[in-house]
Chains A and B, each alone.
Chain A
């Protein structure tokens, strides 16, 4: 791996074997169960790479696991796209491998299609994107950007990863249960999910693990940001990325537990025969179900969306943070409206807790409550617009460097813009009545998350790769990756708006061929599916680039992008397990001091102690 190379670099005399704090007194710095502490200076392989308590290793573990899950979730979607484009035709090449229970003769069964749909959503959100933006980027860069030696609770951090891992394994294994994986949608609405196959129980168990993991992670990130900021790093000097992680962690901390409660209740419904979510007299297959009844399916929706709406901002805020870092760096000027962005992100986080029922306009909600939720929904669009506008104006007059991370960051702006603006009609009950549960909704949130958040993730990977490895990723491959992804993403999701406006339901197994109102738009299905397959091909340069650059990429110094934040003051591929900085950095100024008048270089890092230039 790349870590082995760090010694050749000779950038730091601070090699990995820095003496630890004196002797036996220094217990592993946590507050959890004390561990027999063998006073090893040389950590074993297990401690260093598997059960590591170093935030950088944990960040990489999160990142690699989540990228794998994301690829897996993407492949599930490709199977669905085949079925939508060519309903009833055998899946080529791998169709025979799916088993008779799922796809006899390679032709996908509706039950399997439902599993794919539910698990694609679950995997992408809970096992892919959130672990990437919070677990990987958050873990790796929060301590680095605030000048801390590690997270506040390193062992909790390790536990958070491994709990996530177990949750992921449970989700993955559920495909092999009798009846397959969960098949009631990623939202798991009862009563359908209450009477679903065994996969649903696995889903709930997996979710309990994933929620616990997020909880531990968010406690850690908040504590780290509040307690371990370097000297001089006041709140208003924190990079916007740190702010986004800060708000995000609060969302995870406070929004997830109600879903955990709901998960426990659904588990009780499924395993102990309770009726929390089971109405009286439910008829399934012509028979009235036994059981106490009297429960409320809507209760689940409330508890689920109490998490899942803030979750949207969990997906998008860190992405905005990454994009802000990349844009500031590549426009070579300070972010325009940094303070407004910070306040907007806090406001966004706050409001995100009281908008959730706009997912439930069609559940018979009365006009009073629906007016309330429509109002809050319109209000919450304001801070998003503030942030996006600030990022856009930041470009004005900059001498922009169009490198790969910047291309992804630039593409984020219009893509997220499309996603956000198409959300407005969904937040208003009258238009939502028509658009609810159609492909329009799918198009809307995929624009937010796929060309939005995932592009930001790519920007982050290209941008910070030199920090992980000491090498830069190939620019030409990166640009191929960018243009391919950009074009095909739009090919996949753009036509969904048209299908949705025509009223095509998002849950159809055959893409709508048997509905007359869908006839004008079903022909888009093949186009979208071809785009999806090509999108997979467009990822190949990235995968190759990623591994190739680890060994063969251009070697660079600690600060290849001439950036200002503290992460770039640390050694590239920082030594593992022994703190991040040769000497504890002290912060003198705000995060984005680019092109400071009177300073000979066009960037002035936060930790460089030059006297401030004459006030302008």
Chain B
């Protein structure tokens, strides 16, 4: 311990690398298991997959479907939009304000290329479902082994 502290004192790069390795390991551990963890940005997303594609879901209560913008380029899905604040009249006052307002934008990278033409999205009860089929060209091919 003392030796490590001593070393890091003289070589902060070593220490940084050590930490990075540790963080990477921690990350890969996390990615292995499906469990809840704090989302890095809004909206939080869940991803469902099979060999033919993915379904991405996000909870976006109170956002009008026309204020939602979904774009797909290559393997990246971008969801952006805006929740408009309640239009309060003069003389009306807030007692509580817990809901967030404003614009958001989030890019999400998928582990495969998406067939952009066939992406579909539904928005029901404030929950967005985006179906992203995997591009034909990106699907794994089975290779038949011939006997020589």
The answer on A and B forming one complex is: no
User: What is the interface of chain A, defined by CB distance below 8 A to chain B?
Assistant: none
User: What is the interface of chain B, defined by CB distance below 8 A to chain A?
Assistant: none
